[in-house]
Chain A
Amino acid sequence: MAAGEPSIDALGQFKLHTTLGPIGASVNFTQSNLLMVIASGLILALLYYGARPRAIVPGRLQAAAELSYDFIYNMVSEQIGHEGRKFFPFVFTLFFFILFGNLLGLLPFSFTYTSHIAVTAALAILVIVLVTVVALAIHGLHFFSYFWPSGAPIALAPIIVPVEIISYLSRPVSLSIRLFANMVAGHVMFEVFATFMVMMAGAGVIGYAGAIGPLALNVILMGFELLVAGLQAYVFAVLTCIYLHDAVHLH
């Protein structure tokens, strides 16, 4: 992207543009949304083609589909408990939507939709609205006792209650910014090192030798980013489960 330019343009890769020609342009369908559709298709294909053999002893693809299912299923039942099973499809969708977004973003010429704060914030707000609705549905007005830790002296109420409310409201902020910042940081570093490599190579024979450094750094960074992609999706899903646990059980 920045190959032909003299300066480092690390943020240009996050610029949205419409895709799919005039049809996409007429409905403002961006390349970010195209990647979302591709990720959704891959998730559905994994489960469909994985479950299709229905074998007692699974093959590789079936084992992958079953492991995905079991992984989220165990996470949900361990974190939320028995009542958490009805949230299983939601957590599954959330985890794999973020994971595939992170991983697809590492492919060349693709786009990382999780690097947009608007997307991560929308997901985080969805989570926090769901958690609050679930808590209100199960516990009614008793839900507001969540902001009052049992056994605290009544004199501290003016301090504790605002602190608890702020910490509750800061959940979607930390949830969305954590994912967004991790993704942006990784991709900016990729871009900076790659641009630096091209600029070095432009300097002649000595530059070719010098370009090996940023290239090696990018290779190492790619391994690290694969870890971050999985880890951030996991963190998002686990925190969602913990919030849902709080909503179901209060304290």
Chain B
Amino acid sequence: MPQLDFGNPLLLAQVVWLGIIFLVLYLLLSRWALPQVGAVLAHRAETIAADLDVARRAKEEADAAVAELTRATREAHAGAQAEIAAAVAAAKAKTDAESADLNAKLDAQIAAAEERIAVARTSALGALEQVAVETAREVVGRLIGSSLDPALVPQAVAGVLAARAK
């Protein structure tokens, strides 16, 4: 087995060179190459942390803005509601006043009309009696051929009218 051939000077030389190469590799890695990779990784971690920080701050700002918006919306809503209620109340009051006014006017007109109707009715009824008396006198005069007692006919007509009116 060549690995156990300790008489070969190359075996020891190999180990000496191993020591030199390993030491140089260790020094180059620890002083030069690994810090570079470490710096890249640290830079990335820093960048990510900074970005996360910015994002967190933006989120906080957005949350505050949303809260402000919600509050403003609620206030505007309440204000609008109050204004609507006031407008409705005002319109209702105005309508009530107007309708009361109109009612009063109409009532007055109705009363006046009823009065006029009553007057007309009374005069019409008076005229009717007279027409009936004359007609009756004429008819009876023609039927019996002589004039009647002038007081008798109005009496009879009044009696019939009174009976009808019942």
Contacts and interface: CB of A to CB of B under 8 A. Distances in A.
Interface stretch (A113-121, A144-152, A204-212): A113-121
B79 interface: no
Interface string B33-65: 110111111011001000000000000000000
B3 A118 contact: yes
B11 interface: yes
Contacts of B28: 40, 44
Given A54-B43, A118-B3, A122-B15, A44 B33 contact: yes
A18 interface: yes
A172 to B, nearest CB: 14
Interface residues of B, number: 34
Given A33-B21, A89-B26, A97-B22, A118 B2 contact: no
Q: What is the interface of chain B mostly: helix, strand, loop, or mixed?
A: helix
A234 interface: no
A117 B9 contact: no
B123 interface: no
Q: What is the interface of chain A mostly: helix, strand, loop, or mixed?
A: helix
A30 interface: yes
B163 interface: no
A51 B41 CA distance: 9
Interface of B: 1-4, 8-15, 17-19, 21-22, 24-26, 28-30, 33-34, 36-41, 43-44, 47
A-B pairs, 9 with minimum CB distance: A89-B30, A28-B13, A47-B33, A33-B17, A51-B36, A16-B10, A40-B25, A15-B2, A14-B2
